[in-house]
Amino acid sequence: MTDQIIRVDALLPSEIAHRAEEVGVKKASLDTLSMFALAVLAGAFIALGAVMATVITAGTSGVLPYGITRLLAGLVFCLGLILVVIGGAELFTGNNLITMAWASRKISTAALVRNWVIVYAGNFVGAVATAILMFLTKQYTFGGGAVGQAALAIANTKVNLDFVQALALGVMCNALVCLAVWLTLGARTTSDKILAIIFPITAFVAAGFEHSIANMYFIPVGWLIKQFDPTFAASTNLDFSRLDFGGLLANLVPVTIGNIIGGVVMVAGVYWFVYLRHTRGKVS
């Protein structure tokens, strides 16, 4: 009987590229209901990371240095992508890597667009549903209202970003998110994957970059507090004139475009060009 050698080291970058291509084909081939259900899960998972980040930042103003607060928020936000990758779910921002399979002509443009549309919609449902549930828990009143004050401040800051700034922050964000996903594709164990996620995701949150799916939680939960507990919202003395559906769209449009540029051009495009362009159209 021939002995088999089992590799335990991480994949090389060139091997990760082929792995990303294979994963892209599988993701694009999922049936609609499964794809949507997994996308709803991913939206909820990212929202849970956002919940933890909100709690961590609550009441820290003037107590902890800004950088330390952002570092801690980034560390706990990692929960979201860890659940997506390890638990198995479909996240729009990470799925920007599917373009590697598309560029190699392994999937059609229609299949790529279908995945992005269904997954983006599912992520929105999962994130907003989590925001509604969290509002109903009245968790925003915890810590003497510090959690709610943090939630409102986060949401209000996001809806007041101008278009170019939001787009640029979105580009930087998804470059790091896709790099995190890229690294997990080369990992062999669960602990490898978790460690691969922590540093890039912590970095994007700490730096204040913009993630479209996370914002599908951050902005709606702030709007819910403003709309259905106006007395609490008024106690913050903030101007919430832009915290509405229009403000949500004004954030999501540029951030989503930026996320696509960051993921597709800065990560998927570069690695495809380096490792896969010579294999385009060839059967594996």
Q: pLDDT by residue (tens digit) across 168-207?
A: 999 999 999 999 999 999 999 999 999 999 999 999 999 9
**Cα–Cα distance for residue pair 198/154, rounded to 1 Å:** 22
- Does residue 269 sit within a domain? yes
Let me know if residue 38 belongs to a domain: yes
> What pLDDT is stored for residue 1 in this prediction?
45
Q: Which residues have a Cβ under 8 Å from the Cβ of 143 and sit 6 or more positions away?
A: 58, 59
Number of domains in the chain: 1
Structural tokens at position 165: 């700034």
Judge whether 281 lies within some domain.
Answer: no
In a domain, 235, yes or no: yes
Phi-psi category of 75—alpha, beta or left, where left has phi over 0 and alpha has psi -120 to 50?
Answer: alpha
Does 1 fall in a domain?
A: no
- We report the CATH number of the domain holding residue 20 as 1.20.1080.10
Q: Give the pLDDT of residue 31.
A: 98
Q: What's residue 281's pLDDT?
A: 59
* pLDDT at residue 282 in the model: 54
CA 173-69-233 angle, to 5 degrees, is 90
The answer to whether position 8 is within a domain reads no
Look at residue 248 and tell me if it is in a domain: yes
Q: Report the C-alpha gap between 155 and 226 in whole angstroms.
A: 10
Residue range(s) defining the domain that contains residue 117: 13-276
5 in any annotated domain: no
- Residue 61: its pLDDT value, please? 81
| pLDDT tens across the length of the chain (284 residues) | 455 555 668 899 999 999 999 999 999 999 999 999 999 999 999 999 999 999 999 999 889 999 999 999 999 999 999 999 999 999 999 999 999 999 999 999 999 999 999 999 999 999 999 999 999 999 999 999 999 999 999 999 999 999 999 999 999 999 999 999 999 999 999 999 999 999 999 999 999 999 999 999 999 999 999 999 999 999 999 999 999 999 999 999 999 999 999 999 999 999 999 999 988 755 44
